[in-house]
Amino acid sequence: MGRFHRHDDAQDHGHDHGHEGGHDHLGDHSGYGTGSDRIAVLERIFDENDHCAAHNRADFDAAGVRAVNVMSSPGAGKTALLARTLDALDASRVGVIEGDIETALDADRLAATGARVSLLNTAHGFGGECHLDAPMVRDALGRLPLDGLDLVFVENVGNLVCPAEFAVGEHLRVMVYAITEGEEKPAKYPVMFRSADVVLVNKTDLLPHLDVDLGRFYDYLARVHPGVTTIELSARTGEGVEAWIGWLREHANAPLREAPA
């Protein structure tokens, strides 16, 4: 089923989610005899999702947990970045809801850091969805010891469209952009970039080997989300990750790993 972007997410991310040009966010359905029925179904889907997202958010708040929704295209480096992030944190105080269509490869990689991981394979019982929604996340929360955690990462399914349209109860949204994806991505996928509280510019170690103009990327980003925080880093080398950890400490109460005595 196709999706449309809503303006009234269950939690306020502090951003204007309207479309450029003042177009109706429902689109023009005049060419479809069942357009109004389809809109009603979509509205019901989003209303039910938002209701569940509010419950998820309440559970996070009651446990004193900050939830961070991590989104990107496939292959942008979310899992590699999270693995390096967890190595810098007290992973025993961090949970991960790992979303993938198939396999436990990423979940196993992150569980090896000591984090508590709850896997969601959307191909099994969730229709193979290309995103996580609030009911899926609620299902995964039952397998995490929230009372013993300070921070939960929701690693969303790799996709630059649908994940941004579904609130899951998160407090913050992080978008991981890889420089290998092309400078025009913010213009082509504005909803994803506009919904982010911080954009992590990953794989900067490859800059000397690529014909990439980061200035153009930042120009496009400024058009869709002026003033958004950006952090350049490399999950492979670790360069810039300290700044990312600092952002997490400031905004998500991330638990640092204790230094050896």
Residues 76-105, mean pLDDT to the nearest whole number: 96
Residue (of 134, 112, 45) closest to 120 by Cα position: 134
Q: Where are the domains of the chain?
A: 32-252
What average pLDDT does this structure show over 154-159? 94
Per cent of the chain over pLDDT 70 is 82
Please report the pLDDT score of residue 101 as a whole number. 85
Per-residue model confidence as pLDDT tens digits over 123-140: 776 666 788 999 999 999
Q: Is the pLDDT of residue 153 over 80?
A: yes
Mean pLDDT of 147-154: 98
Total-model pTM: 0.83
From 63, 116, 78, 113, select the one nearest 94 (Cα to Cα). Answer: 116
**Domain at 32-252: CATH architecture:** 3-Layer(aba) Sandwich (3.40)
pLDDT bin (cut points 50, 70, 90) of residue 84 is very high
The pLDDT of residue 9 is 38
Question: Residue 225's pLDDT is what?
Answer: 98
Cβ neighbours of residue 43 closer than 8 Å, sequence gap 6 or more: none
| Phi and psi, residue 157, nearest 5° | -65, 140
List pLDDT tens digits, range 158-215. 999 999 999 999 999 999 999 999 999 999 999 999 999 999 999 999 999 999 999 9
Q: How confident is the model at residue 44 (pLDDT cuts 50, 70, 90)?
A: confident
208-247 burial code (b ≥16 CB/10 A, e <16): eeeebeeeebeebbeebbeebebbbbbbeeeebbeebbeb
